[in-house]
Amino acid sequence: MTTFLAADGTRLAYALVGSGPLLVCVPGGPGRAAAYLEDLGGLAQERTLVLFDNRATGRSEVPADPSTLRFDRLADDVEALREHLGEARIDLLGHSAGSVVAQAYASAHADRLRSLVLATPVDVLQRGPAARADVPAIRESRASEPWYAEAAEAEAALADASPAQEQALQRATRPFYYGRWDARTQAHAASADSQMSPRAGLGFSTDGESVDVPALVAGLGRVEAPVLVLGAELDGATGVEAVHTVAACFPRAETAVVPRAGHFPWVDEPAAFRAVVAEFLRRVAPAG
């Protein structure tokens, strides 16, 4: 684990995993430490993954100013990381809520971006409250699976749950986030218990009153770097429609959907995830 200082003096941490050209990885949650990204289904065999803990998560410090936990301010930390790494341009991957940070970075620092991968993104910047519109149908498509009844009941109960009940109910909905529910995916899901930072999650806010979201989204249309927006067929967290909604904002975006995978496609279908992302990076951001 290596650390550096952000512009405001907050000490931020990252780990290097693998070998090859650097790929800066921004985790989601929001507020989850980057360890859950693991080696991205073996992608570390071709790229050195820079697994970045956003402020107030993992081994990164909690900032003195809570407003710096907002998603667009987290993009400032990505720029500070780029400078620390000494890279003129970076290859950047954002997962889930991390894709929102990555979009904010792309909009503000398009000239510092060599390539961009948005994995199972959320379309909250583009669609606001209408985001994730296809998630209910994706979840209902799993109705024949043995865990479904308990997970669906927990999901329905969340709307009226007390804070004391919420955590247990959230745990019961975790099968919706994976393409299968076995020992491997259950262990990955359980790791969230020690990796989530409620403080970071609450500060992430995509509230349009604090950020000029239309201007940010308009900035994506000026990104010249190639973009891969990758979804997963059984993503019961952010859905598949978001892939196409987000990709439409970029002039040079391509899309892919990993079959049989959920919100963490490198866990469900590591070979398929690795093949798609590695091929894209080899083509648009070759080593050397």
Most distant CA pair in the chain, distance: 54
Amino acid, res. 63: P
In a domain, 177, yes or no: no
In a domain, 235, yes or no: yes
In a domain, 188, yes or no: no
Q: Are 103 and 29 in contact (CB under 8 A)?
A: no
pLDDT digits (tens, 9 = 90+) for 176-192: 999 999 999 999 999 99
Mark the ranges of the chain whose per-residue pLDDT is less than 50: none
In a domain, 170, yes or no: no
Q: What is the pLDDT of residue 288?
A: 65
Q: What is the pLDDT of residue 163?
A: 85
Q: Which residue has the tokens 């003096």?
A: 9
* List of E strands, 6-66: 11-18, 22-26, 48-53
In a domain, 149, yes or no: no
User: Distances in Å between the alpha carbon of 39 and those of 42, 44, 99, 104, 168?
Assistant: 5, 5, 18, 24, 28
The CATH number given to whatever domain includes residue 269 is 3.40.50.1820
Coil, helix or strand at residue 93: strand
Q: Are 272 and 259 in contact (CB under 8 A)?
A: yes
Q: Residue 240 has which token pair? A: 């598949």
Q: What is the pLDDT of residue 209?
A: 72
Q: What is the pLDDT of residue 208?
A: 65
In a domain, 155, yes or no: no
List the Cα angle 251/254/260 in 5-degree steps: 150
| Nearest of 22, 17, 19, 42 to residue 285 by alpha carbon | 22
In a domain, 75, yes or no: yes
Beta strands 227-232; 253-258: pairing state: parallel
Coil, helix or strand at residue 25: strand
Q: Residue 107 has which token pair? A: 């909009």
In a domain, 212, yes or no: yes
Domain of 273 in residue numbering reads as: 2-135+194-284
Contacts of 27 (CB under 8 A, 6+ apart): 33, 34, 36, 37, 51, 52, 53, 54, 57, 95, 96, 98
The structural domain count of the chain equals: 1
